[in-house]
Amino acid sequence: MVLASAYNSTDDNAWCPGCGNFGVLRALKQALVSLNLEPWQVLMVSGIGQAAKIPHYLKVNCFNGLHGRSMPAAFGAKMANHKMTVIAAGGDGDAYAEGGNHFVHAMRRNPDITYLVHDNQIYGLTKGQASPTTGLGTLTGTTPFGSVDIPESPLAVAVAMDCSFVARGFAGDLEHLSKIIGAAVKHRGFSLVDILQPCVTFNKVNTYQWYKERVYNLDEDAAYDPKDRTKAFTKALEWGDRIPTGIIYKHERPVFEDSIFKPADKSLSRQPLNPPAPLELLRKYA
């Protein structure tokens, strides 16, 4: 039985007091413990940002890379070791702006990776600039007269890309968030968990109270079917007076590793398919 203390890091924490990242960290730790995963079985990959610091605050394998470039590193690690539980983490800027191209192609390829996006609708590390998910009209350091850009809807993008697991969590509801993260990690294929994570320093609009007045648990609705892509797209676009949290969309698709590698022995790691010899290719296309 894995204890939560096994994941405790000795690194000093640099997050602001009250930051929603603390809730994400606790929920993630709780999810890993519930899955009975040992720290050595987990790799956390991140880019740059406040959210990207989370691997340092967990005692796991860690790769902290470039801004927006967590996906290539996570993808490479998963291809090298299929048995490793690979979790990528980043903020809304890191994931949807600088890393937007990698985000889209990761969903298309469907590797067995979990992506936790701490969505506080602001650039927190660089002092509060507008991000891709910043609300219309929001005053920020780069939008002093209010943001004029329509905010991105990452869940709708994910459903449109037929991402195999799409969910939203709230850092103010640790129990539900932990269950969502656990389900995402267990799912075979690319899993996106967009986490509503209040920034108590730079985002004075989307506060804990603001979310608590709006979020509702979609997983409690027995009539909702996350396999219905049309309904999932509608839920992904729902924002304002009511904001759904839980599993929005789920579709079992071929996993990238299974398409490229075949098991020589189920007890061993997967072996690559033998490519045609160069001479055979020359003869075929000569």
pLDDT of 270 > 50? The answer is no
Q: With 70 as the cut, is the pLDDT of residue 282 above it?
A: no
CATH number of 4-285: 3.40.50.970
> Is 90 exceeded by the pLDDT of residue 78?
yes
Residue 281 has pLDDT above 90, yes or no: no
User: Average pLDDT, whole number, for the chain?
Assistant: 91
pLDDT-derived band at 262 (thresholds 50, 70, 90) equals low
Residue 192 pLDDT exceeds 60: yes
Q: What is the pLDDT of residues 110-169, one digit of tens each?
A: 999 999 999 999 998 888 899 999 999 989 989 999 999 999 999 999 999 999 999 999
Read off the pLDDT of each residue in 272-282 and give the average, rounded to a whole number.
52
Query: Does the pLDDT value for residue 37 go beyond 90?
Result: yes
What's the chain look like in SS3? CCCHHHHECCCCCCCCCCCCHHHHHHHHHHHHHHCCCCHHHEEEEECCCCHHHHHHHECCEEEECCCCCHHHHHHHHHHHCCCCEEEEEEEHHHHHHHCHHHHHHHHHHCCCCEEEEEECCCECCCCCECCCCCCCCCCCCCCCCCCCCCCCCHHHHHHHCCCCEEEEEECCCHHHHHHHHHHHHHCCCCEEEEEECCCCCCCCCCCHHHHHCCEEEHHHCCCCCCCCHHHHHHHHCCCCCCEEEEEEEECCCCCHHHHHEECCCCCCCCEECCCCCHHHHHHHHC
Least confidently predicted of 11-25, 52-66, 107-121, 260-274: 260-274
When pLDDT is cut at 50, 70 and 90, the band that residue 260 belongs to is confident
Structure tokens at 233: 């797209």
Checking if the pLDDT of 81 tops 60, the result is yes
Residue 273 clears pLDDT 70, i.e. is over it: no
Kindly state the average pLDDT of the residues 216-234: 97
Percent of the chain with pLDDT over 90: 81
Confidence at residue 69, expressed as pLDDT on a 0 to 100 scale? 92
Contacts of 7 (CB under 8 A, 6+ apart): 29, 32, 33, 39, 58, 59, 60
pLDDT(55) > 90: yes
In this predicted structure, the answer to whether residue 286 has a pLDDT above a threshold of 60 is no
The predicted structure's pLDDT at residue 222? 95
Which has more pLDDT, 252 or 267?
252
pLDDT given at position 267? 47
